[in-house]
Every structure is written in C-alpha cells, then in structure tokens.
A and B are shown apart, each in its own frame.
Chain A
Amino acid sequence: MGRNVGVRNRLGPMTGDRIFRFSISCSSFLMIFILFAIFATLSYFSFPAIKKVGLSVLLRKTWNPHAGEFGILPFIVGTLLTSFLAISLTIPLSLSIALVLSEYLRDSKIATFLKGGIELLAGIPSVVYGLWGLTYLVPVVREVAILLNKTPYGVGVLTSVLVLVVMIVPYLVSIATEVMALVPSDLKEAAYSLGATRYETIRHVILPYSKAGIIAGIILSFGRAMGETMAVTMLIGNSNHIPRDLFGPANTMASVIANEFQESTGITFSFLVLIGLVLLCITFLVNILGNAILKKTGIVREREVSCL
C-alpha cells in the first residue's frame, strides 16, 4: 500500500522535538512514581503496627499507647460521625443556595453578592475557623450544654460539626450550581409552559436531572469533611474514646495524628502512620467514586477548588 506517514508513529526528526517529548513523558512518570512512593512510604512505616496487631486494630476500641493498647476504632467513629453529621446539615443549606443562585436569583446582583460571600467563606483558612470556634462558639455550646444538663466541655463533636458545616458548604454549593446549570433550559420551559410552579419544576425536572451530579457532590464533600484537620483538631476536644454524646469530646483520624504525631516514638509512631494510611485509603475511595459519577454527568472538571 502506501508509506505510513502518520506523525504519531515516529519521533520528531529534530533533536529539539525528541528532547521535548522525552522530558514531558519523564515528568509524567515522575508523577506516577510520586504517587506510588506515597503509598509505599505509608505502608512501610505502618508495617510494624500491622505486624504487631493485624488488621483487627481497626475494630479495637481502646487507644492507650502507654499501656500498649492500640485500637483505632474511636478515631474511625469520630471521623465518620463528624463528617456524616456535617454533611447532613450541609445538604439542605448548600442545595438551597445552589437553587437560589441558579434558579431564583440567577444572574442578578444579589446572586453575585451571595456568590462572593460564599467564595469568601471558602477562602478563610482552617486554622482561623478553629480560632474563631475556640473564642466564640465554645462558650455558646458550653451554655447550651449547661441548659441541657450535660457536661459543659464546650469543645466536642457538636462544635466541630458546626464549624465543619460552614467550611464544607461552599464546596458543595460550587458543585451543585455547576450541575444545575447543565439542566437544559428547554426542559424547564416545557414544565413552566405546562403550568408548573417553580417548586414543581425544581422537584420534577431540575433535581432529578441533576441527581447524579448532586450525589457525586455530596460524596466528594463527605471526603473533604473527612480530611479536614485543623479546625476539627482545635475544636473536638482531643479525647481518645468513642464519642457517646454530641456535647462530648472525641478525636478524628486527622486530629489524633495532629495531636500525637510529634511526640510519638516507636510503635506508636507506626500506628499513627497506619491511621494516616487508613484515612488516605478511605478518602481515596470516596474521591474516586465521587469523581467517577461526576464524570458521567458530563461535568468535565474534577473538583477540589476553593472558589466558585
């Protein structure tokens, strides 16, 4: 037949081209290597811990390094509990804001103002939220606890959940608004022209259409909540027991690492690395799942942005 002259099948004839192609593929290999190294490092340093107790450590309830007891269930519960509660409160708030921004007040000045406010919230660093929580939220929670006849720690699950909500809302809002913007306007027009109220259009057209994307957003926000460290560390009270009470202290996987890593030695160090590995794996899976669903909805961008 003919000479196959597709450029894809041969290197550029000039050295410049060859060097260029080589460098950019090297950089990709480097990225993959870094990722591999991340997992390898965590596995290597947590190995002594796994060897000592095996994976049952995930289900043990007592964390007392001095007594040689290493159970990380309290932290898994702490993480899941705080994240789950935070997400439950975030969903109605975020969806409302998303609806306002993309439906009720679309393209209006108020919407820009609201959007700006949300972006501002997203930009405030976690430590600052923690400081604010310590100074202003803790006394309030303490008062409420007294009213309810509970131990007035002030810090604890509830306090950290409240601050987590404020931090996660902008994230879910940005995903939800993007998803809702994809709803074709002729579908909405069809509904309105049939006499549907706005509520009905939202309920029967917009939300069902955006369902997949919103679920993905919720999953991703959940992952974000789980990885949140500083504000939670400052507000959760640093207790290594399974939390029994919303008003009581606890620890998440992230916060126990933040609290104990620096002074840890020997096998404790290894266990903390193990906690890090577990946290990484959980957030990993959650992110992959969320991104996969998001991709299917046609939102090409995978998200982890702090602004809208």
Chain B
Amino acid sequence: MLVNGVVRVRKSQQPVRERTRFRILRDKLFRYVVFLLSFLILTPLIVILYHISLKGLKVVSWDFLFSLPKPAGEQGGGIYNSIVGSIYLVSLGFIFSVPLGVAVGIYVSERKETLLAKLTGQLSSVMQGVPSIVVGIIVYCWLVLPFRTFSALAGGVALAIMMVPLVIKATEETLNALPSSLREASYALGVSYSRTVLKVLVPSALNGIITGILVSVTRVFGETAPLLFTSFGSQYLSYSILKPIDAIPLRVYTYAMSPYPEWHDLAWGASFVLATIVVTLNILTKVIQRRWKVRF
C-alpha cells in the first residue's frame, strides 16, 4: 500500500481481527480529538462576542455615537470624533491606494512577461508582509518629522501602504482569470488596446477588484499600529488634513491602557462599534461577491 513495506510485514503478523479493532479504535479516537480541538476554538469566539456585546451595549447609545470625548474623571462622552476620523482616514487610504493599486494590477496582469511586472508582482506580496508598526515608523519619517506634526495625511498614507498590495493582487488575479475570448471580441471590432483594457477587461473584472478593495478597507478599519505615530489620535473633532486625527481603534487603545475605569467601559463601547462595522463590511463584501458574479 502506501506505507513502507517493513512496518506492514511486522503488523500483518498480528491476528487480523485484533489489528482491525485497533485501527478502528484509533480512527475513532483521532476523530474525537480532531473534533474537540476544532470546536474548542469556538469557545473564545463565543466568549469574546458575548463580552463585546455585554459590555459594549451598556455603553453604546445615540449620545455615545454622536458626542465628543470628555476629559478624564467626567462621566459620559462619546466617540464621534473617532468615527469621523476613521472614515476620514480610510477614505484617504482609499484615494491613495486604489488608483495606484488598480494601475499596477493591470500592468502586472497585462505585461506579465516583462521583468518589471514579475518584479512588481513579487514585491507587492512582500509589501503585504510589512508589519503594521513598521509602516507607522516609515510614514512617521516621511511625513511627520519633516512637517513636525502628526496629521491625518500621514495616517492616510500609512493605511494606503497597507491597502495597496491587496488591491494589486485582487486586480491582477481577476484580470488573469478573464477568458481571452473577451479580448478577441473587442479587438475584432477594431477597438484599440487601451480601450479594450479600460472598457472591456476592467469592467468585466470589476467584481473581483471591488471585492479586493472592500477586503482591504475592512482590514485597515481595525488597524491601530500604523496610526500610533502618524495620525496619533486626538480628543477633538478635526477635519484638517494636516492635524492629528482620531480613529476608533486608537480610542480603544487609549481608553484601554488608561487607569480610569470609566474609560475602560468606554473602550468596550468603542470596541463594540468597531466590531460591528468590521462584521458589517465583511458581510457586505460577501454579498457583493455573490451578487455580482459575471458568467462567461
């Protein structure tokens, strides 16, 4: 069979019935262990979700969502500035990463035989592996030091660096998966190369590209480390691109690490909001992925 011959010979010297019982028992035991370990993982999940809901819902209210943080020691306060900040930062990340990511994805897919495309493809996977805290350091050096201020701009760029590789991969893979008949049909109509890519190929790939963008947005919404040294966080509501700005994960971190118990409760509230947003985005991504499937 598939086992090395020596062991087999020894084992077959045992009476077949005994050996069979042993094998069946071993199979059963393995099955139980595997199932146990698998469903074991659900325990922390349920517990965590339970705690987030329990502690979070105690704090979340209309007021919580729409008012600003109060100074330490005062009751109440909200995370409105963090919500605004998160949306602001992710939007900036989107603006910086999507055009670049899609363009590079197109290049890597269309010109895959060139050295530049192969190199870029490899390097963008590598960029995916840059630890989030290191991204923070880099953007700090690029945009915070020279301007001597933390800023939403720096935060947006940091998030963009984390988003770009995902967008590139999604664009590249979806384009690669398109059948060549699509391209041929377009050329046969006398359509130029650039128009074929932009008006036929990319629109057909839109599902995959948008899914990739949504996945990266979902990911960076919950990121804290890249923002620690770039947008830094703030108690105040800000719309300025050159000033520090808050974000929900930053607020969770600040409150969680503080010595004040009221702030710990608020941290749970913010966590609840954050978790809800992330889960919603996840579901949205799945829905769009399914609804928009293009058949060839």
Contact = CB atoms under 8 A, between A and B. Distances in A.
Interface of A: 7, 12, 14, 16-17, 19-21, 23-25, 27-32, 34-35, 37-38, 41-42, 44-45, 92-93, 96-97, 99-100, 104, 114, 117-121, 123-132, 134-136, 166, 169, 191, 194, 196-200, 202, 204-205, 223, 226-227, 229-230, 234, 254, 257-258, 261-262, 272-273, 276, 279-280, 283-284, 286-288, 291, 300-302, 304-307
A302 B128 CA distance: 10
Between B1, B107, B137, B197, the greatest number of chain A beta carbons within 10 A of the residue's beta carbon is seen for B137
Contacts of B45: 117, 120-121
Interface of B: 1-3, 23-24, 26-27, 30-31, 33-42, 44-45, 47-49, 51-52, 55, 100, 103-104, 106-108, 110-111, 116-117, 119-120, 123-134, 136-138, 140-142, 161, 164-166, 168-169, 173, 192-195, 197-198, 215, 218-219, 221-225, 228-229, 249, 252-253, 256-257, 264, 267-268, 271, 274-275, 278-279, 282, 285
Contact of B37 (A41, A93, A126): A93
A57 B137 CA distance: 20
B41 A93 contact: yes
Contacts of A129: 48
B224 A125 contact: yes
B215 A227 contact: no
Given A24-B110, A30-B100, A262-B228, A199 B252 contact: no
B134 A276 contact: yes
Nearest to B3: A204
A9 B40 CA distance: 59
B218 A25 contact: no
B133 A257 contact: yes
A227 B103 CA distance: 28
A127 B23 CA distance: 46
Contacts of B41: 93, 97, 117-118, 121, 166, 169
The 6 closest A-B pairs by CB, nearest first: A125-B222, A227-B131, A20-B194, A287-B129, A96-B37, A27-B103
A196 B8 CA distance: 13
Given A28-B107, A35-B127, A127-B274, 7 more contacts: A23-B103, A31-B164, A35-B123, A121-B44, A130-B256, A258-B225, A261-B137
Contact of A31 (B30, B111, B120, B166): B120
B111 to A, nearest CB: 7
Contacts of A258: 133, 225, 228
Contact of A197 (B27, B127, B225): B27
A28 B129 contact: no
Contact of B173 (A114, A166, A191, A301): A301
Contacts of B119: 32
Given A194-B1, A234-B256, A307-B215, A128 B104 contact: no
Contacts of B274: 125, 127-128
B78 to A, nearest CB: 18
Contact of A24 (B103, B123, B165, B253): B103
Contact of A96 (B23, B26, B27, B34): B34
A12 B194 contact: yes
Contacts of A279: 131, 133-134
B44 A166 contact: yes
Contact of B125 (A29, A276, A302): A302
A97 B33 CA distance: 11
A17 B193 contact: yes
Given A12-B194, A127-B252, A132 B51 contact: yes
